[in-house]
Amino acid sequence: MKAIKYLMIGSLFLLVTACGSGATEEQAEVADADKSAMKLYKNNCMSCHGNDLSGRVGPGLQQVGSKMTEEKLVEIITVGANGMPGYENVLSAEEIGQLAKWLSEKKE
């Protein structure tokens, strides 16, 4: 009887440690997505929107997430806007999605 009890405690412990490592992996993934979005921004958008999203030729994007939905951001990046080129033939849909998600989190 005692052995079963230990076994149960043992498997519970395993479960907890397994979940713990899952969470850190997820966090690492999020950080990776942020990093690649920032790289895409630097290479494609920074010249017009500023190195800290504060805007230059284009408007500042520091609070764009409280103004626009992720879907709207995908649309603007894909087709462009007044004075802004569309990125349909430059970036993949996945890259545009990463940028839109990253920008949609810019709320102050």
Binding residues for heme c: 45, 48-49, 84
Each residue of 42-59: b (16+ CB within 10 Å) or e?
eebbeeebbeebeeeeeb
Separation of alpha carbons 57 and 81, rounded Å: 13
Q: In the stretch 29-48, what mask flags binding to ligand HEC with x, by CB under 6 A?
A: ---------------xx-xx
Q: Tell which one of 57, 92, 105, 107 touches ligand HEC (CB under 6 A).
A: 57
How many residues in total does the chain contain?
A: 108
Residue ranges that bind ligand HEC, judged by CB under 6 A: 44-45, 47-49, 57-59, 61, 64, 67, 73, 76-77, 81-85, 87, 99, 103
